[in-house]
Amino acid sequence: MGTPLVSNCSSDLTPGIALVGVGPGDPSLLTLRAVQKIEQSTLVAYPVSRLDREGMAANIASTWISNEKKRLPLLFPMVKEVESLKQAWIDASDQLADAVFNGERVVFLCQGDVSLFASSSYVLLGLKARYPECPVELVPGVTAISAAAAAAAWPLTIQQDQLLVLPTPDDSKTLEILLADAFRWKRVIALMKLGHRWTWVKPLLARKNLLDDALFAQKVGWPDQKIIKAIDLDETVQSYFSLLLIRQSWPEIIP
């Protein structure tokens, strides 16, 4: 048998770190395992874009974070500059490993699933590279895509459908090519990180006559969740926490 990719915390009460998916948005979407890991932890870590902010993942899980629990906000700045990003990931891994080596049972909270465009993946890669002996467990969560499809009662994929999940490209030419390929291959597209790009995505979809085929989802699971047909949404800048599902065709045989 080969070496496992990540070590499994054999006992839940030994020091180690669990990367735990929460939400998205709605705290009732946490898995039983996620709640168990938070309750058994001695220290709760979570990403923040600024140290004076609470962070969305911590907010979602707040019901299960008791007052006596130690907290560790970790800075994941929303910048593109490579050196700052790398340093932030290294700092986060160092602080988490330090806590584990000091006997803490750590959870690192992450919005949605821990493996899909997730801050927890930088922590995982940082720990693997720098502290391979540190026990790590991953607790999967509900992705924003699944939560959006469920909230809209919108089948994501069936039969031979393909699914392409990607960050919204930065230029319209790339999106045009993706849309043409998706039409050819009966591929549903999930565009993450839509935010400010909606100002040019909407006119492009309008030109291609695809607005009726697209569903917009913003802040799914939060009290101000918005799920509407793309055609009904103004072409103004949207929240970073928004995504678009585009289905250009349905299988021939459906109920």
**Binding residue for ligand SAM, selected from 65, 242, 246, 248, defined by CB under 6 A:** 242
- How many whole angstroms separate alpha carbon 55 and alpha carbon 51? 9
**Binding residue for ligand SAM, selected from 111, 127, 175, 227, defined by CB under 6 A:** 111
Which two three-digit tokens encode residue 51?
A: 């140290």
Helices 119-130, 82-101: axis angle to 10 degrees equals 70
Taking CB positions, which residue lies at the least distance from ligand SAM? 112
Q: Which residues contact 238 (CB under 8 A, 6 or more apart)?
A: 194, 195, 196, 198, 216, 218
**Under rule CB under 6 A, residue 113 binds ligand SAM:** yes
Q: Residues binding ligand SAM: what is the number (CB under 6 A)? A: 23
**Binding residue for ligand SAM, selected from 192, 201, 211, 230, defined by CB under 6 A:** 192
Stretch that binds ligand SAM, among 131-139, 154-162, 176-184, 191-199 (CB under 6 A): 191-199
Which two three-digit tokens encode residue 114?
A: 């821990």
User: How deeply is 190 buried, as exposed, middle or buried, from its count of CB atoms within 10 A (0-12, 13-18, 19+)?
Assistant: buried
Q: Of 138, 112, 133, which is closest to residue 123 (Cα–Cα)?
A: 138
The SS3 call for residue 52 is: coil
Stretch that binds ligand SAM, among 6-14, 57-65, 218-226, 230-238 (CB under 6 A): 218-226
**Under rule CB under 6 A, residue 55 binds ligand SAM:** no
**Binding residue for ligand SAM, selected from 243, 245, 246, 248, defined by CB under 6 A:** 243
Which two three-digit tokens encode residue 208?
A: 């291609």
* Nearest distance in Å: CB 211, ligand SAM: 19
Strands 70-75 and 226-229: unpaired
**Binding residue for ligand SAM, selected from 30, 217, 233, 246, defined by CB under 6 A:** 217
42/121 with CB nearer ligand SAM:
121
16/221 with CB nearer ligand SAM:
221
Looking at the DSSP bridge assignments, the partners of residue 188 are 163
The SS3 call for residue 45 is: strand
**Binding residue for ligand SAM, selected from 38, 179, 220, 245, defined by CB under 6 A:** 220
**Under rule CB under 6 A, residue 59 binds ligand SAM:** no
169 preceded by a cis bond (ω within 30 of 0): no
| Sheet (strand 136-139) strand order | 70-75, 43-48, 105-111, 16-22, 136-139
90/152 with CB nearer ligand SAM:
152
* Nearest distance in Å: CB 140, ligand SAM: 9
**Under rule CB under 6 A, residue 47 binds ligand SAM:** no
* Nearest distance in Å: CB 242, ligand SAM: 5
Q: What does the binding site for ligand SAM look like in residue numbers (CB under 6 A)?
A: 24-25, 111-113, 116-118, 143-144, 148, 192-194, 217-221, 240-243
